[in-house]
Amino acid sequence: MQLPPALHARLAGAPGSAEPLPVERDPAAGTTPFSFAPRLVRFPREHDFFEDGDVQRHLYLQDVLTQVGGAPERPRRPSARVPEFTCQVAGCCQVFDALEDYEHHYHALHRNVCSFCKRAFPSGHLLDTHILEWHDSLFQILAERQDMYQCLVEGCTEKFRTSRDRKEHLVMRHLYPADFRFDKPRRSRGPAVPGAAEQVLAEALGDDRAPSEGDAMEVCSEHVEPSPEPAGERRAYSHRIPSTICFGQGASRGFKSAKKRNKHQ
Amino acid sequence: MWSRQRGGLKPLRCGVEQLRCRRREREAALRKARREQQLVSKRLLRDEALEEAEEGCVAMIFGEAEIQQFLRLAQRGTEEKEREGALVSLRRGLQCPETQQTFIRLEGSIRTLVGLLTSNQALLQLEAARCLHELSHSEQSAVVEACLPATSYLLTYLSGHSSDFIELCLYTLGNLIVESEAVRRQLLPQGIVPALAACIQSPHLTVLEALGYALSQLLQAKEAPEKIIPSVLGSTLPQHMLQLLQPGPKLNLGVAVEFAWCLHYIICSQVNNALLITQGALSTLGLLLLDLAGAVQRTEDAGLELLACPVLRCLSNLLTEAAAEAVGGQLQLRDERVVAALFILLQFLLQKQPSLLPEGLWLLNNLTANSPSFCTSLLSLDLIEPLLHLLSVSNVVLTVLCNVAEKGPAYCQRLWPGPLLSSLLDTLAFSDTEVVGQSLELLQLLFLYQPGAAQAFLQQSGLQALQRHEEVAQLQDRVHALQQTALHG
């Protein structure tokens, strides 16, 4: 199919068009036995007309064994390891020999970290909610009078009086698991002052029920009876972690840990 | 500027003929699936470079005991490397359907995997996610549905920042989404639409492409028009999608393909296309069409037809909306470059993907049907002859010519003389009643508006051409009418 040579130039040219020719219809046009009339045509989803294109689309989806490394912005050479380096965040001693591994580590553990209690969260949203519910004394006061516990699902604007109510909402309405890891109430370990900036270093470092693996990401701070957690939850994380091992939770070490801690009974 | 399509296929060891054969088989299977409305495809993200680094990527069949051991090591190993290594081994095993089956039947296995997914050991998280991804890609429903306990976490992680991890979660979610309506019935209340809407603001191309994939799967679901598209339209997703389809230096082919398909599924469901038009969909798509036409001239890149197809469809369908009329006055949709671009694309499709030509011609019909402006462009840009070249492809060529001719003498004058007459005489020789019928309609218009047309027709043995169809039921009245007009004016 030969296209007029000027066409390509026209495409590259300025927008616009020639003045349309005058339209002048004869009433006899398209009358019986003829029937032509210009019509806009639309095709719905499942129409056979789309079969060829749909099949091509799916061949594309199926064909490509996607290479994670092929994207232009991230040339990957995992076989080229770099000399070992340590995470630069204060207190984290995780060691890496590949940059890509470091990216996820950093974002998972150092990006959304609570500056009060050093817990890491998977997103800014959960971090904000945690700070509000756990470290904001005004929140506690307001919570006595109105619904303050916000649903954790992005886009849901419901608020609740208690975190238990919120959990129920998460389970019933949003089909979340009852043991959703980012909505565990903090276990009270004795008299604790609500809203006080807790030093949880003791927990992080040496405590038998170390949150360093299981509870790293609670959001709410309501003091409730330790809810009977299914044994499976705890079993995985009940072993004592030697204090020399740092899982990079962002917990401060060194001089900071010399500060006084609130030891929980 | 169009960036190149990603990496390319892993070189396979079999010959070209075998490849073709396999492709034909796959294509046949896909056609059958589509006819049964079961068109489902999953994507598997495997880091080939990573696999190369792990010498020997043979998927292993593991038994219960081995799987248990890997899980135990991953959970409780003292050495990080040991824990990671255990999960890596498990992941490689899970590439194998037998291991997958064994895994899901093992009590507590998914629970442990989810625990690792949500642990605060970043590399364990990543490996656990890769394990889940393998499971999500399975053809066995039981295996895929075993991943359901992880979905709330996968969605939560979409708001994070680690692009690799998010990409993996998205492809996993995409695979889960197509599995069954039951899965979607869980994902929707868990907030998948708002999660995607938040995630689409990511600057990472890989994340965006993965998101587009997941979203396209969601939108392709059977129940999408009632249950999914309304909430998608109510979110900020459409605006972001259109933004990602804006031509310019930042346009990425892989990303654009996914979102163009998303738009197509939304538009052809006809839920609220007027909204998309107010958000500038026509304008964006029109500009994209121009850009595409430019790109096909410049580059040999494979894959432009993957984008052309949904863009053509979206434009064609949107033009049928009443709201399009209102907007049409404004802009691109009077611009004759659109017609130029379409023909450049038609030429490209003729070589690359002839099966898509009817879709291009469909757009041409919708552009010209009610638009004197576009009909004039067709004439002034000298496109009638190239158009006639496509007569053998589709009857729509005749319809488009009728669209032009019915606008009156000024138009027919420009259609005449030229190759039109001989082409029409050719089509009259077809036995296809549809084709002949359309040719007769066109002839009537030409006889009506163009003095001398009937005469020329007679001189070229037009009457004989007509005679052939005198006895055909659907055609005879029109044949006789034309014979009368030709002979007696």
What are A11-39's pLDDT values in tens digits?
Answer: 999 888 888 999 999 998 888 899 999 99
Query: Could you check whether the bond before residue B11 is cis, i.e. omega within 30 degrees of 0?
Result: no
CB of A38 within 8 A of CB of B483? no
Those of residues 452-471 in B touching chain A at CB distance below 8 A are none
Subunit contact A45:B477, Cβ cutoff 8 A:
no
Tell me which H or E stretch contains A149.
Answer: strand A149-150
Four-point Cα dihedral B328, B329, B335, B339, nearest 10: 40
Residue in chain A closest to B341 (alpha carbons) equals A11
Subunit contact A55:B31, Cβ cutoff 8 A:
yes
Asked if B205 has any chain A CB less than 8 Å from its own CB, the reply is: yes
B376: nearest CB among A20, A42, A66 = A20
* High-pLDDT (> 70) share of chain A, %: 62
pLDDT score at A227: 37
Chain A residues closer than 8 Å to B359 by CB: 49, 53
CB of A214 within 8 A of CB of B114? no
Asked if B37 has any chain A CB less than 8 Å from its own CB, the reply is: yes
Tokens of B9: 């296929």
Residue in chain B closest to A18 (alpha carbons) equals B377
B377: nearest CB among A18, A42, A177 = A18
Q: Of B125, B482, B72, B352, which is closest to residue A105 (Cα–Cα)? A: B125
Mutate to test the interface with B, among A26, A48, A51, A61 (most CBs of B within 10 A): A61
* pLDDT exceeds 50 at position A257: no
Those of residues 116-135 in B touching chain A at CB distance below 8 A are 118-123, 125-126
pLDDT score at B406: 95
Report chain A's mean pLDDT, rounded to a whole number: 70
pLDDT score at B38: 74
The angle subtended at Cα A40 by Cα B441 and Cα B258, nearest 5°, is 135
B373: nearest CB among A20, A111, A174 = A20
Chain A residues closer than 8 Å to B377 by CB: 17-18
Number of CB pairs < 8 Å for A and B? 364
State the Cα–Cα distance between residues B238 and B242, nearest whole angstrom: 6
If phi > 0 it is left, if psi is from -120 to 50 it is alpha, else beta; for residue A96 that is: beta
- Residue B303 amino acid letter: G
State the Cα–Cα distance between residues A30 and A53, nearest whole angstrom: 34
Give me the helix-helix angle, B122-136 and B80-93, nearest 10°: 10
State the Cα–Cα distance between residues B403 and B383, nearest whole angstrom: 14
Report CA torsion sign: B157, B161, B162, B167: positive
Four-point Cα dihedral B340, B346, B352, B355, nearest 10: 160
CA–CA min distance A161, chain B (Å): 21
Asked if B46 has any chain A CB less than 8 Å from its own CB, the reply is: yes
* pLDDT exceeds 60 at position A222: no
Residue in chain B closest to A216 (alpha carbons) equals B120
CA–CA min distance A37, chain B (Å): 8
State the Cα–Cα distance between residues B450 and A145, nearest whole angstrom: 84
Tokens of B73: 């090591």
Tokens of A222: 């309501």
Chain B residues closer than 8 Å to A245 by CB: 78
Residue A211's pLDDT band, with cuts at 50, 70 and 90, is very low
Chain B residues closer than 8 Å to A19 by CB: 376
* pLDDT exceeds 90 at position A182: no
Tell me which H or E stretch contains A140.
Answer: helix A137-143
Asked if B375 has any chain A CB less than 8 Å from its own CB, the reply is: yes
CB of A104 within 8 A of CB of B164? yes
Tokens of B58: 């043979």
CB of A135 within 8 A of CB of A195? yes
Distance of CA B52 to the CA centre of its chain: 32
State the Cα–Cα distance between residues A107 and A129, nearest whole angstrom: 18
Subunit contact B369:A40, Cβ cutoff 8 A:
yes
Tell me which H or E stretch contains A96.
Answer: strand A95-96
B115: nearest CB among A22, A54, A236 = A236
A65: nearest CB among B46, B167, B347 = B46
The strand pair at A149-150 and A159-160 is best described as antiparallel
Four-point Cα dihedral B400, B405, B407, B412, nearest 10: 140
Residue A110's pLDDT band, with cuts at 50, 70 and 90, is confident
State the Cα–Cα distance between residues B210 and B206, nearest whole angstrom: 6
CB of B191 within 8 A of CB of A170? no
- Residue A78 amino acid letter: P
pLDDT score at A1: 85
Mutate to test the interface with B, among A74, A111, A154 (most CBs of B within 10 A): A154
Subunit contact B52:A79, Cβ cutoff 8 A:
yes
Asked if B445 has any chain A CB less than 8 Å from its own CB, the reply is: yes
Subunit contact B347:A3, Cβ cutoff 8 A:
yes
Chain A residues closer than 8 Å to B343 by CB: 3, 7
CA–CA min distance A41, chain B (Å): 7
pLDDT score at B34: 85
Those of residues 383-412 in B touching chain A at CB distance below 8 A are 383, 385-386, 389-390, 402-403, 406-411
pLDDT in tens, chain B (489 residues): 233 334 333 444 456 777 778 888 888 888 888 887 777 788 877 765 555 555 555 667 888 898 999 989 898 888 888 898 999 999 999 988 999 999 999 999 999 999 999 988 888 999 999 999 999 999 899 999 999 999 999 999 999 888 989 999 999 999 999 998 999 999 999 999 999 999 999 999 999 999 999 999 999 999 999 999 999 999 999 999 999 999 988 889 999 999 999 999 999 999 999 999 999 999 999 999 999 999 988 876 668 889 999 999 999 999 999 877 766 544 446 789 999 999 999 999 999 889 999 999 999 999 999 999 999 999 999 999 999 999 989 999 999 999 999 999 999 999 987 899 989 999 999 889 999 999 999 999 999 999 889 999 998 888 988 998 998 889 999 999 999 988 886
CA–CA min distance A43, chain B (Å): 7
pLDDT score at B297: 86
Residue of higher predicted confidence among B51 and A251: B51
Mutate to test the interface with A, among B46, B82, B157, B161 (most CBs of A within 10 A): B161
Chain B residues closer than 8 Å to A10 by CB: 336-337, 340, 381
Residue of higher predicted confidence among A53 and A264: A53
State the Cα–Cα distance between residues B368 and B402, nearest whole angstrom: 10
pLDDT score at B239: 97
Name the pTM for this structure: 0.83
Subunit contact A45:B46, Cβ cutoff 8 A:
no
- Per-residue pLDDT averaged across A200-216, rounded? 34
Which range (A75-89, A164-178, A206-220, B385-399) has the least confidence? Answer: A206-220
CB of B342 within 8 A of CB of B332? no
